[in-house]
Amino acid sequence: MKITIAHLYYDLLNLYGESGNVKALKRQLEDQGIDVTIKFVTVGDELKFEDYDFVYLGMGTEENQHLALKHLITYKKEVKDAIEKKTFFLVTGNSIELFGKAILDKNRKKRKGLGCFKYTAKEEDFRMVDEALMQADFLEKPILGFQNQSSVIRDNQKPMFRVIKGIGAYPKSEGEGIHYRNFYGTYLIGPILVRNPEFLKYMTKELILSKNPKFKMKKFKLELETNAYDNFIKMHYQHVINK
């Protein structure tokens, strides 16, 4: 089996080592015997979503986000079609803003988004920085992540996570992120797949089974990652989970 991962704007949207998400997924797929190809695509390159099984976009500066959007929006229809056809997307940090209707800066200058979803991202005068603990209905264990954002999304109707502890999509919100078909988007950084071995295992399985529902999985080698996750939960969040 062959799986192609597209790492979009790898050179622009890679704050906080978010490329670790792609590296972690590639390793798990290869451990399952999958032939993995990573296509590094950036501004000026041609995007061929029909060739991608998995698309990743990470976090970047505001300037780099605008550069990526200017290029990506020329493929607006192709992006929407890929999402509807259940191509896998993982979008972290402020890249989640690209897929909404619009991005508003502090002066309410408007930049049109891809329009894949109905929300609007609005930049605020404050910055939200915090560790977060959240729950997804498709995972048993909570998600660990870190938030560092100056924009909020208040009108998202399809949140991926329920906030256990942390800020969420905006101060005191109950949800965060977006999940639709095989699109997974969140402000959480970390990298999220590295910090959450259950999520990494889930994503690996879902991606493989979408290609071959009868595929027999080998045992996952995630002992180190699982120990790191368990110890962090025990040190910082056990009292919250036990409530």
The 10s digit of each residue's pLDDT in 151-208 is: 999 999 889 999 999 999 999 899 999 999 999 999 999 999 999 999 999 999 999 9
Residue 44 is predicted with a pLDDT of: 94
Asked if the model's pLDDT at residue 58 lies above 80, the reply is yes
SS3 assignment, position 202: helix
Check: pTM over 0.75? Answer yes or no: yes
Alpha helices, H only, the chain: 20-31, 62-72, 76-84, 192-195, 197-211, 223-236, 238-241
Q: 3-state DSSP: the chain helix, strand, coil percent, rounded to 5?
A: 35, 30, 35
For residue 140, give Cα distances in angstroms to 46, 93, 199.
39, 23, 9
Between CA 53 and CA 211 the distance in angstroms is 9
pLDDT in tens, 222-237: 999 999 999 999 998 8
pLDDT in tens, 2-50: 999 999 999 999 998 899 999 999 999 999 999 999 999 999 999 999 9
* Helices and strands (H and E) in the chain: how many: 7, 12
Tokens of 4: 């192609």
- pLDDT value of residue 149: 92
CB-CB contact of 152 with 121 (8 Å): yes
Helix (H), strand (E) at residue 136 = strand 120-136
Distance CA 233, CA 212 (A): 34
User: Is 90 exceeded by the pLDDT of residue 241?
Assistant: no
What domains can be seen in the chain, in order of their start residue? 2-241 (3.40.50.880)
Residue 95 has pLDDT above 80, yes or no: yes
Residue 142: both structure tokens together: 């909570």
Does residue 206 contact residue 182 with C-beta atoms inside 8 Å? yes
Q: H or E element: which one contains 5? A: strand 2-8
Residue 243 pLDDT? 61
Q: Give residues with Cβ within 8 angstroms of 219, minimum separation 6.
A: none
> What is the pLDDT at residue 242?
66
The CA distance from 93 to 137, in Å, is: 21
